[in-house]
């Protein structure tokens, strides 16, 4: 029992851990005694994140959209306890008739195919009692106009999570589904547009605000530690699905 619970000395690998939700997960895990290993595509951001977390945090630049780089990363990494996948890029939101289908296909590259590669090459190195936590988004359950492709990607990750939980048992596989969170993901908008989105959406939610990365990080820590959930998607959305 003791070996399955708690983050002390657990090795937690966060792909997409240099900013936003992934960084918050790595930081929170490290604050609870875990050894965080972060990876993302930009070496400077990885270095900055490691320095900010401090302690025994490690990191490496890896473009997770490149299958060979993902395979090499895990082949060299050695064993670990928990795999967290938070890598993501900005979404292109368009009405369907204005959607370029080539671009729509590319929306699956990082969120679906790269996540699948991470699990394929990472799962053989997970210690007994370990887990995988993927990332989706509440748009899969609460689509809005213009979100056809983005919502499809999110729904796909929920299905992938259930399938992997069966495929990889006894490794537990779960996902976290955030609502809108203040992160770099929204950086393609101007600062004014972004603040307007946060303010207008936040005030419409039951909790009265959009999320912060540390709100969401706690769900990942819960899923890594509690030991009895698998195939589940935990929604942390401020009540988005209700309105």
Q: Is the peptide bond before 170 cis (omega within 30 degrees of 0)?
A: yes
* C-beta of 139 vs 165, nearer to ligand NAP: 139
Please report how close the Cβ of residue 45 comes to ligand NAP at its closest, in angstroms.
Answer: 4
CA-wise closest residue to 47 among 30, 59, 63, 29: 59
Please give the torsion angle defined by the CA atoms of residues 15, 210, 106 and 60, in that order, rounded to the nearest 10 degrees.
Answer: -20
DSSP label at residue 228: S
Rule CB under 6 A: say whether 50 interacts with ligand NAP. Answer: no
**What are the phi and psi torsion angles at 73 (to 5°)?**
-55, -50
Per-residue string for binding with ligand NAP, 4-43, x by CB under 6 A? Answer: ------------x-xxxxx-----------------xxx-
Q: Which residues are within 8 A (CB) of 240 and not within 5 positions of it... i.e. 6 or more apart?
A: 138, 142, 179, 180, 205
- Pick 149 or 180: Cβ nearer ligand NAP: 180
CB of 40 to ligand NAP, least distance (A): 3
Residue 81, CA distances (Å) to 56, 129, 180, 233 in order = 15, 7, 29, 20
Contact 224, 12 (CB under 8 A): yes
Give yes or no for residue 67 binding ligand NAP (CB under 6 A).
no
Of 26, 34, 57, 87, the one binding ligand NAP by CB under 6 A: 87
Site map 182..221 versus ligand NAP, x via CB under 6 A: -xxx------------------------------------
Name which of 8 and 188 has its Cβ closer to ligand NAP.
188
70 contributes a contact to ligand NAP by CB under 6 A: no
Cβ 114 to ligand NAP shortest distance, Å? 7
Is the CB of residue 23 less than 8 Å from the CB of residue 57?
no
Strands (E), 86-169: 126-135
Q: Binding residue for ligand NAP (CB under 6 A) from 29, 30, 34, 64?
A: 64
- CB–CB of 217/27 below 8 Å? yes
Q: Which residues, 88 to 107, sit near ligand NAP by CB under 6 A?
A: 88-89
Which residues in this chain contact ligand NAP in the complex, by CB under 6 A?
16, 18-22, 40-42, 45, 62-65, 86-89, 110-111, 135, 137, 178, 180-181, 183-185
């Amino acid at each position: 029992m003791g070996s399955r619970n708690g983050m002390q000395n657990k090795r937690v690998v966060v792909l997409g851990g240099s900013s936003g939700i992934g960084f918050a997960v790595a930081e929170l895990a490290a604050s609870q005694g875990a050894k965080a290993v972060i990876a993302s595509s930009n070496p400077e951001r990885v270095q900055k994140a490691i320095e900010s977390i401090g302690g025994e945090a490690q990191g490496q630049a890896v473009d997770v959209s490149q299958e060979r780089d993902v395979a090499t990363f895990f082949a060299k990494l050695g064993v670990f306890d928990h795999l967290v996948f938070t890598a993501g890029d900005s979404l292109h939101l368009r009405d369907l008739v204005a959607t370029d289908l080539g671009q729509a296909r590319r929306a699956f590259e990082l969120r679906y195919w790269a996540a699948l590669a991470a699990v394929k090459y990472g799962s053989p190195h997970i210690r007994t009692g370990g887990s995988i936590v993927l990332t989706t988004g509440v748009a899969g359950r609460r689509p809005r106009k213009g979100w056809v492709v983005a919502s499809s990607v999110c729904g796909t990750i929920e299905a992938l999570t259930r399938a992997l939980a069966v495929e990889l048992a006894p490794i537990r596989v779960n996902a976290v589904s955030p609502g809108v969170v203040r992160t770099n993901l929204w950086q393609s908008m101007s600062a004014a547009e972004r603040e307007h989105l946060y303010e207008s959406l936040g005030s419409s939610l039951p909790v009265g605000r959009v999320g912060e990365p540390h709100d969401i990080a706690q769900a990942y820590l819960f899923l890594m530690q509690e030991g009895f959930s698998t195939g589940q998607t935990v929604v942390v959305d401020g009540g988005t699905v209700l309105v």
